[in-house]
Amino acid sequence: MQSRKLKIIPKPDESERVILRTDSKDISIIIKGEGDLDLLCGSCGAILAKGINEGQIRNIVLYCNKCRSYNDTL
């Protein structure tokens, strides 16, 4: 399994970007698939997307509930 750290960005305008987050305080994974790539929070390293395919997730922001960072998937 490969992993890639995402770029941290300031909180985006929610009318311009889609922000995905989980309501769980214990689990950081927002998206789970059957691919071979994990996307990690660029700040704390928590897994935000597990088992995705390269290029599957684009132009959305993943919010890390562990460290409250906004991660860009561009």
Q: Please compute, for residue 43, the number of CA atoms within 13 A of its CA located in the half-sphere on the CB side.
A: 15
Tens digit of each residue's pLDDT (9 = 90 or more) over 20-37: 999 888 889 999 999 999
| CA atoms of 56 and 14, how far apart (whole Å) | 21
Please give the pLDDT value at position 4: 96
Tens digit of each residue's pLDDT (9 = 90 or more) over 36-70: 999 999 999 999 999 999 989 989 999 999 999 99
3-class DSSP assignment, residue 27: coil
The one-character DSSP state at 73 is -
Please give the pLDDT value at position 41: 98
